[in-house]
Chains A and B, each alone.
Chain A
Amino acid sequence: MNVPSSVHAITNLNRLPDEDVMEQLQAGVVEAFDVIVHRYKDRLHNFLFRYTSNHEDCEDLVQETFLRVYRSRHSYERIAKLSTWMYTIALNLAKSMYKKKQRMTTMSIHADSSDPDDRELEISDTNLMQDEELHLKMCVHELEKALMELNEDFREVIVLRDIQQLSYEEISDITGTAMGTVKSRINRGRQQLQEIMGNYVKSETF
């Protein structure tokens, strides 16, 4: 049986670290683009959804981010991690869209009628008791609303840190903000969320 050469190419590319895959794309190996899409589609969706709170906007932004990555492939330099570079592109696109629309919608944890694809929502903790589940579901609902009430500068660092689990250094690179400012915004953002959430979470020393 003949295996298409593109399958071989993708198999080989799959073994490479992100930055090497990007180098292949820069060298004209178009299959590298599929590998990048496969690796980053979920991460970018989660990040952009938590930032925009809208499935349609989020999907458009993810697609546009990947296309920008391709169009700007020659401007990428290995001194930065590919993930940092991609998050920067995604964040800039989201910000400019936000400015254009000047409005953000709140979302519900329940079935999202704006989502034509009926995505699955995954919960990481599988050992919850039923009453705790109820509480968690309500907390999640309130937290998603609270997140959208946050100032944009705070929301972006909170999402990058607490949801995407990036390092302070990466967040500093992505947002183009000094590390001290990033840490301070994260603390203040959490404090604001704490205040908004009030009844749902314990007081925390930030």
Chain B
Amino acid sequence: MRTMEYVFLSANQRNTYSMSSNLTHHDKISGDFVLKFAESCLRSDEIRSSGEDIKMNGARYDRDISTLLQQLPKVKACKNFERKMAARFALELHEEVVSRNRENIARSSIPG
């Protein structure tokens, strides 16, 4: 299992991009782009234009919608979900008992 944090670049790789002093201008632009993307700082027009680049650069990126939808990250319940649910369920059971008792008392207090 991989988390999204590991999808793109490790911290060391990012440092390589930012620390290198031998980058050409083009490399620097690419490096900046990669860094901004990794930090989720891209503007929407940058994301859009890079999408156009990718489209022009080859068919190997092609994925159909259905395949892409299947590859969306699976969102799971948080780690303590079952504990929280158990607490709410306990309350539910308690309310059920209280309501049943109330009904029983009401029934037994009816004269005759």
- Nearest-neighbour CB distance to chain B for A10, whole angstroms, equals 12
Total count of chain A residues near the partner, CB < 8 A: 60
A83 to B57 alpha-carbon distance, docked (Å): 43
B residues near A33, Cβ cutoff 8 Å? 89
A12-34 Cβ-contact flags toward B at 8 Å (1 or 0): 00000000000000000010011
- Nearest-neighbour CB distance to chain A for B51, whole angstroms, equals 4
Known: A158-B69, A162-B66. A42 touches B7 (CB 8 A): no
B residues near A59, Cβ cutoff 8 Å? 77-78, 81
A82 to B47 alpha-carbon distance, docked (Å): 42
A-B interface pairs (CB < 8 A), number:
157
Indicate if the CB atoms of A138 and B51 lie closer than 8 Å. yes
- Nearest-neighbour CB distance to chain B for A39, whole angstroms, equals 11
Indicate if the CB atoms of A199 and B78 lie closer than 8 Å. no
B residues near A132, Cβ cutoff 8 Å? 60-61
Contact of B4 with A by CB under 8 A: yes
Indicate if the CB atoms of B85 and A37 lie closer than 8 Å. yes
A34 to B66 alpha-carbon distance, docked (Å): 33
Indicate if the CB atoms of A62 and B77 lie closer than 8 Å. yes
Indicate if the CB atoms of A30 and B93 lie closer than 8 Å. yes
Indicate if the CB atoms of A123 and B88 lie closer than 8 Å. no
Indicate if the CB atoms of B62 and A38 lie closer than 8 Å. no
Contact of A45 with B by CB under 8 A: yes
Known: A137-B8, A140-B71. A45 touches B85 (CB 8 A): no
Indicate if the CB atoms of B8 and A133 lie closer than 8 Å. yes
Q: Which of A37, A119, A130, A147 is in CB contact (< 8 Å) with B82?
A: A37
Indicate if the CB atoms of B74 and A42 lie closer than 8 Å. yes
Indicate if the CB atoms of B65 and A121 lie closer than 8 Å. no
B residues near A71, Cβ cutoff 8 Å? 92
Q: B: which residues have CB within 8 A of A?
A: 1-4, 7-9, 34, 37, 40, 47-48, 50-52, 54-55, 59-66, 68-82, 84-86, 88-89, 92-93
In the complex, 19 of the A-B residue pairs with CB atoms within 8 angstroms, ordered by the A residue number, are A37-B86, A41-B82, A45-B75, A46-B75, A49-B75, A50-B75, A70-B92, A123-B71, A124-B74, A132-B61, A133-B7, A135-B61, A139-B63, A143-B65, A162-B65, A162-B70, A200-B55, A204-B64, A204-B65
Q: A: which residues have CB within 8 A of B?
A: 30, 33-34, 37-38, 41-42, 45-46, 49-50, 58-59, 62-63, 66-67, 70-71, 108-111, 117, 119-126, 130, 132-144, 147, 158, 162-163, 165, 190, 193-194, 197, 199-202, 204
